[in-house]
Amino acid sequence: MEKIFEVEIFGEKYKLKSEEEKSYILNLSSYVDQKMREVAEELGISDPVKVAVLAALSIADEKFLCEKRLNHIDEAIRRVENSIENLEVSLVENESSLNSVENVT
């Protein structure tokens, strides 16, 4: 069920509808507010639209970097899984060879 939350971001109040928990919405809005304040302070910009756009770019950059890291992790997991499969095949082959040798003796 959708709930309505009131949050404040960069000095402006917003009403948000969401099915998410209140804590999640507050964390999101707090994060955006923090990013906007960082941009405004670091660049000395007071225009809220410019601050919002630059904060959005900063957040988008973080997202893309996280996706890139996740892709690298996924690739590493695939390599490990392939190594495990190869080891399992080798183990089965070695067991078969060992069984053949035991049957001969």
pLDDT tens digit sequence for 66-76: 999 999 999 99
Q: How far apart are CA 54 and CA 62, in angstroms?
A: 13
Query: How many domains does the chain fold into?
Result: 1
* Dihedral angle sign, alpha carbons of residues 64, 65, 66, 70: positive
Straight-line distance from the first to the last Cα atom of the chain, in angstroms, rounded to the nearest whole number: 73
Under 8 Å between Cβ of 44 and 54: no
Task: Provide the domain limits for residue 51.
Answer: 3-104
Cite the beta strand spans of 1-105 per DSSP E.
3-9, 12-18
Task: Tell if the pTM clears 0.85, that is, is over it.
Answer: no
Residues of the chain with pLDDT under 50: none
